[in-house]
């Protein structure tokens, strides 16, 4: 089998970096993205023959289109797209300004959607390809203080679940990765915080904010082991639509499923009365 071309966004740290390095170790070729030119230059000097990096602002549609065209021109195809780039954000729903909401959605939803749409025509032409969406256990279950981030990942999961059905007959596979807490920079300096804080939410959103900042660097998840799991998924003959990662993810997603099932059972009779 010929070496694949992986296009991975956001490889400066955490899961993106671990995945890029692990993919290179398998012999496949990585095209990765950074947000700083100095990072691009340093990476390309270090990995001149096994990978290539480019500057990409995931919120800039023109930048996305130009980048994808350049990759296709230079390498001929994109076999695996990994939409990893995104931002975290903490704040109660009421605390969050619309400007802050839009910033989260531009990166986590609109940018990811645009990049997916831009790569799809080339995968359709090849009748082959895999799209890996990096979501979160927070894309299934919401948490007080995480509502806007949850909403962005719920949106990612929604269009990705539909997309998987649309492209399956075309030879393209889609998988959604749902990590729990991992030792990345997600909860560190890069975490967005609502500028407005309301005292009434101190015991809910405020407590979540403090907890998240307090576990930075101590999370259970190992990015290198997550990277191996993702590569194994991509290599599998029938990759699953969803892949939770970590014990916390298994627990929280299980709690959500139980909650939904309980509500279904409790309201089954009422639901059945609301028809002709």
Question: Which residues carry out catalysis?
Answer: 135, 149, 153
What's the CA gap between 138 and 143, in Å, rounded?
A: 7
DSSP string of the chain? Answer: -PPPEEEES--SSHHHHHHHHHHHHHT-EEEEEESSHHHHHHHHHHTTTTEEEEE--TT-HHHHHHHHHHHHHHHS--SEEEE-----EE--TTT--HHHHHHHHIIIIIIHHHHHHHHHHHHHHHT-EEEEEE--GGGTS--TT-HHHHHHHHHHHHHHHHHHHHHGGGTEEEEEEEE-SBSSSTTTTT-EE-S---GGGTTTHHHHHHHHHHTTTT-SB-HHHHHHHHHHHHHSSS--SEEEESHHHHHHHHHHHHHHHHHHHHTHHHHHHS--
- Distance between terminal CA atoms of the chain? 56
């Amino acid at each position: 089998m010929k070496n694949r071309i992986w296009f991975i966004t956001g490889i400066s740290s955490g899961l993106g970096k671990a995945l890029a390095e692990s993919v290179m170790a398998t012999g496949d070729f990585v095209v990765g993205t950074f947000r700083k030119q100095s990072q691009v230059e340093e990476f390309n000097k270090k990995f001149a023959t096994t990978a290539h990096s480019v500057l990409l602002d995931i919120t800039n549609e023109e930048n996305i289109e130009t980048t994808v065209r350049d990759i296709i021109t230079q390498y001929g195809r994109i076999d695996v797209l990994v939409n990893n780039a995104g931002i975290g954000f903490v704040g109660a729903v009421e605390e969050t300004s619309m400007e802050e909401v839009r910033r989260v959605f531009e990166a986590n939803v609109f940018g990811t959607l645009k990049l997916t749409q831009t790569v799809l025509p080339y995968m359709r032409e090849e009748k082959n390809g895999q799209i890996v969406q990096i979501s979160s256990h927070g894309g299934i279950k919401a948490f007080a203080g995480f509502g806007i981030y949850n909403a962005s990942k719920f949106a990612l999961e929604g269009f990705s679940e539909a997309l998987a059905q649309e492209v399956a007959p075309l030879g393209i596979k889609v998988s959604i990765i749902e990590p729990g807490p991992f030792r990345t920079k997600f909860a560190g300096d890069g975490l967005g915080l609502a500028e407005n804080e309301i005292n009434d939410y101190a015991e809910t959103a405020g407590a979540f904010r403090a907890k998240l900042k307090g576990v930075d660097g101590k999370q259970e998840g190992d990015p290198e082991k997550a990277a191996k799991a993702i590569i194994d998924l991509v290599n599998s003959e029938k990759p699953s639509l969803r892949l939770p990662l970590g014990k916390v993810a298994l627990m929280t997603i299980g709690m959500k499923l139980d909650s939904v099932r309980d509500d279904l059972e409790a309201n089954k009779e009422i639901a059945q009365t609301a028809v002709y």
